[in-house]
Copies of this chain bind each other. A is one copy, B any other.
Amino acid sequence: MNKDVVVVGGGPAGLIAAVTAKSVNPDKSVCVIKAIGDGVIPCAIPYMVDTMDDPKKNVMGDMPLQNAGVDIVVDEAVGLDTETRELTLASGDTFTFDKLVLATGTEAVLPPIPGVDREGVYTIRKSMTDTVALRETFQSCRNVVIVGGGFIGAEFADELGDMDNLEVHLVELMSDLLPAAFDEEFCRDVRRRLEAKGIVVHTGVRVTAIEGDSHVDGVVLDDGVKLDADAVLVSIGAKPNVDLAVEGGLRLAGDGSIWVDDYMRTNVDGIFAVGDCAEKRDFFTRKPVPVWLASTATAEARVAGTNLYGIRVLRQIPGTISAFSTQINGVAFASAGMTCRASEREGFRYVCATAEAPDRHPGTLPGATPMKVKLVFADQSGILLGGQASGGPSVGELINVIAVAIQKKVTVRELDMMQIATHPLLGPSPTVHPLINAAHAALAKMRAAAGR
């Protein structure tokens, strides 16, 4: 079969690439080939365990593709010939294309631990069948060990902590949970909030073995502790799924992802890669970074989808700012750009400041929650390098104020003077808004350091 545009991958990047391609080029035939027929919305997978009464509600539906006039093929692309511009599918079918977009995502990695292949050891798989089975497993467990304290591990721990009669241990090799996204004080707060709902958190320890007969029954840590386990969830990370790209001989980046230019073009004319399988570079350092976010992936997909047939609209990917958010024990945590520790590691001289205020004003209003904002600025130019926040649900959009400010290279002086909206029931007082006050406090530090 022939299609003008073929997109491989049914996740958010593939979806948006296909929909954008069709909307920009309504006269072209566009097709999505996806390996999983019953896909779920990936970032909501943890909430299928308990928050959702019916996990089947978390469907990554085909409606947007169908509405856009994109064809859908459920099959796995296993072969790619860039000369003949032909894809081979697992079923044996072939597709020729004019333009190809790879949105093949990542696959979970398993650590080289004895026993990691035992029954009862799980990684996250993005089909309804797998996720519903995982829910059912957890519902019949008494002891669950989660290996890996990144976002997925912390969110599953939070979710499992809401279930009755379940003991949950979260094991992280680094000294903090979520160390890539937050500085120590926010990491400690995440830990404290998980512990408050009964999760046992182990940091700075390594899993040395997963024990049991055919089925897992325990996890051994390198400090000698042995944890009982009916199920183990491994969430230590993922790696780009580049099998098809390798098959086609596409150039890979140094970190094993698919090499792309700023317009998401691979080294082969007419072949693009977007989302988690494509190389990510940091906004400030330009170094490759393993940051896989649906928001970044969909932005990349829009670039590729628009520029398939010539770069008619001048756009580029400025590098990822790693804009994250999550909720732990009812408290929102979010981060964008560089933390203090990332700034130190990368050799950026910086000034940071933190401010806190109730998220309603006066703070005596019902429902008021503390909102905390930490901002990191380059110490000479005053350009905003990053921000971290915690508090009530409005933190989910507050981090996007910071995200836009980072992407627009806002300086500490501009932020100090920024006009923002506030309302008693919706946000902090304008006299103490943590976003403005953190900038104000950083500016005062800079002034003091300069003796002015």
Contact = CB atoms under 8 A, between A and B. Distances in A.
A421 interface: yes
The range of chain A's interface size is: 35 or more
A321 interface: yes
Taken together, the copies of this chain in the complex come to 2
Contacts of A398: 397, 400
A423 interface: yes
A51 interface: yes
B424 A399 contact: no
Given A401-B400, A431-B16, A420 B323 contact: yes
Contact of A417 (B299, B414, B419): B299
Given A326-B423, A420-B295, A423-B396, A410 B408 contact: yes
Interface in A406-424: 407-408, 410, 413-414, 416-424
A430 B294 contact: yes
B403 A421 contact: yes
Given A321-B419, A324-B421, A41 B397 contact: no
A110 to B, nearest CB: 25
Interface string A286-297: 000000011111
A126 to B, nearest CB: 14
A43 interface: yes
A303 interface: yes
A399 to B, nearest CB: 5
A421 B295 contact: yes
Given A47-B365, A392-B393, A421-B396, A15 B426 contact: no
Contacts of A47: 365, 424-425
B321 A43 contact: no
A440 B298 CA distance: 12
A227 B121 CA distance: 71
A420 B403 contact: yes
Contact of A408 (B57, B403, B408): B408
A302 B59 CA distance: 49
A385 interface: no
Interface in A24-82: 24, 41, 43-44, 47, 51-52, 54, 57-59, 64
A44 B361 contact: yes
A431 B325 contact: no
A15 B431 contact: yes
B325 A422 contact: yes
A28 to B, nearest CB: 15
Residue from A294, A332, A397, A407 with most neighbouring chain B CB atoms (10 Å): A397
B404 A410 contact: yes
A118 to B, nearest CB: 30
A289 B306 CA distance: 40
The 9 closest A-B pairs by CB, nearest first: A396-B426, A57-B364, A323-B421, A44-B424, A397-B397, A295-B430, A397-B398, A408-B408, A325-B423
Given A299-B417, A315-B417, 7 more contacts: A44-B365, A64-B431, A312-B452, A332-B423, A396-B426, A397-B427, A404-B418
